[in-house]
């Protein structure tokens, strides 16, 4: 149980750190948020918990493919934020990301990469 609490505390610390940095500096907050901190922590937790190397490698592999269709959201959100407000921009960004992901998964499946 202590291990689980430790994982939660460290992971929460990273999220709070990014939030606090973003309050002080848009660029620094964006830079730290863009780092794959959650993925790195996940890879560490999987390793420390004795998961097989193939499981860890698969996590990194799929993370790469899942990140790509999320990238357009970071361009669309700031543009529609001023027009539709926060909730509208967030909803539009999530919907667009889901659609982009579906299309991306469909295209990759034709090349033997199954994301769904």
How confident is the model over 10-55, as pLDDT tens digits?
A: 888 988 988 999 999 989 888 888 878 889 989 999 999 999 999 9
Quick check: 116 pLDDT over 90? no
Tell me how far apart the alpha carbons of residues 41 and 24 are, in angstroms, rounded to a whole number.
24
Residue 112 confidence (pLDDT): 95
Residue 18 confidence (pLDDT): 87
Selection from 111, 92, 97 nearest residue 67 by Cα: 97
Selection from 82, 78, 77, 73 nearest residue 101 by Cα: 73
Residue 30 confidence (pLDDT): 84
- 3-17, 56-70, 77-91: which range is least confident on average? 3-17
Tell me how far apart the alpha carbons of residues 43 and 97 are, in angstroms, rounded to a whole number.
24
Domain assignments of the chain as residue spans, ordered by start? 71-116
Residue 7 confidence (pLDDT): 86
In whole angstroms, how far apart are CA 13 and each of 7, 61, 81, 111?
A: 10, 26, 28, 39
3-state helix, strand, coil in the chain (%, to 5): 85, 0, 15
Quick check: 81 pLDDT over 90? yes
Q: Which residue has the tokens 């001023």?
A: 82
pLDDT > 70 in the chain, percent: 100
Quick check: 79 pLDDT over 90? yes
Residue 70 confidence (pLDDT): 93
CA angle 55, 70, 23 (to 5 degrees): 105
100 and 89 Cβ atoms separated by less than 8 Å: no
Quick check: 92 pLDDT over 90? yes
């Amino acid at each position: 149980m202590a291990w689980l609490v430790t994982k939660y505390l460290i992971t929460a610390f990273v999220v709070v750190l990014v939030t606090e940095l973003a309050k002080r500096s848009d660029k620094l907050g964006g830079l730290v948020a863009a780092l794959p901190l959650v993925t790195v922590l996940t890879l560490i937790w999987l390793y420390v918990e004795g998961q097989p190397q193939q499981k860890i490698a698969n996590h990194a592999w799929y993370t790469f493919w899942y990140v790509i269709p999320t990238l357009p959201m970071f361009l669309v959100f700031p543009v529609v934020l001023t027009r539709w407000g926060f909730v509208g921009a967030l909803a539009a960004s999530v919907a667009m990301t889901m659609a982009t992901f579906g299309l991306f998964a469909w295209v990759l499946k034709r090349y033997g990469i199954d994301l769904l």
